[in-house]
Amino acid sequence: MSGSEFLRQSSRGGSGSSPEVGSSIMDPVRNNVFQEQFDLDLEFEQYEEIEVPDFSHGRRGRFIHDFAANKTGIVDVEGRRCFVMPLNRSLVLPPHSLFDLIVKMRAGYYDVDTEIVRERMRVVTPPILDFRDVGYYITRECSALPTYRLERMTVPVFKRSVEESQHAVFVEFAGNKISHLDIVNINDAVGAGGSHA
């Protein structure tokens, strides 16, 4: 299965140009297609931003991978809040590698690796107040929103302990497999304006 991609050069104010890449990726489980918009820092390889629209089994979100801080930020667009976790370099390719992969996919040399890596995450409260260890790029996107750390769950969650309505799923493709993050206690993270969306 392959995704269809398109590349577009766009000027980003200040430091020159940064490619924006859009891709459509086929989800093998549900035969759905989801699209992503990529903003890649090819000059300094410090960050990449991946915009994922809402689709049938994932929330609309923006992933910010800060390679200098070794962190990933997730902007929950609906819930008006952010989440921060360690950068998973086994799933997230650096900007140049991701760009090269997309160019080769577009040329027909590679197909998208549609294997899904599922992770269960838990919101850690209270929200972050000190953004110093979060990194510049995540702070830029999240400092005006309630921001929470996410931690990987190692113990199974039983349906009685966490209702399905408290779950939220964020999905992205960042070069190596499809990452499926299930946040089991999303309602513990209050968004801007008191929203629990």
Confidence of residue 34 (pLDDT cuts 50, 70, 90): low
Mean of all residue pLDDT scores within the chain: 82
**Residue 25 in contact with residue 173, Cβ under 8 Å?**
yes
Range of weakest confidence among 53-57, 125-129, 149-153: 53-57
Residue 189 to residue 196: CA distance in whole angstroms: 7
pLDDT at 38 over 90: yes
Which of 17, 23, 22 shows the shortest CA–CA distance to 42?
A: 17
Sign of CA dihedral 108, 114, 117, 123: positive
Range of weakest confidence among 23-32, 153-162, 180-189: 23-32
Residue 35 to residue 13: CA distance in whole angstroms: 25
pLDDT at 169 over 60: yes
pLDDT digits (tens, 9 = 90+) for 43-66: 999 999 999 987 666 899 999 999
**Residue 154 in contact with residue 93, Cβ under 8 Å?**
no
Residue 102: count of CB within 10 angstroms of its CB: 25
Q: Which two tokens stand for residue 47?
A: 């960050």
Beta bridge partners of 34: 25
Residue 148 to residue 83: CA distance in whole angstroms: 5
Confidence of residue 9 (pLDDT cuts 50, 70, 90): very low
DSSP state of 93: -
pLDDT given at position 73? 99
Name the residue ranges covered by the structural domains of the chain: 4-194
Helices (H), the chain: 95-106, 136-142
**Residue 71 in contact with residue 61, Cβ under 8 Å?**
no
Range of weakest confidence among 8-12, 168-172, 183-187: 8-12
pLDDT given at position 53? 84
**Residue 187 in contact with residue 196, Cβ under 8 Å?**
yes
**Residue 101 in contact with residue 21, Cβ under 8 Å?**
no
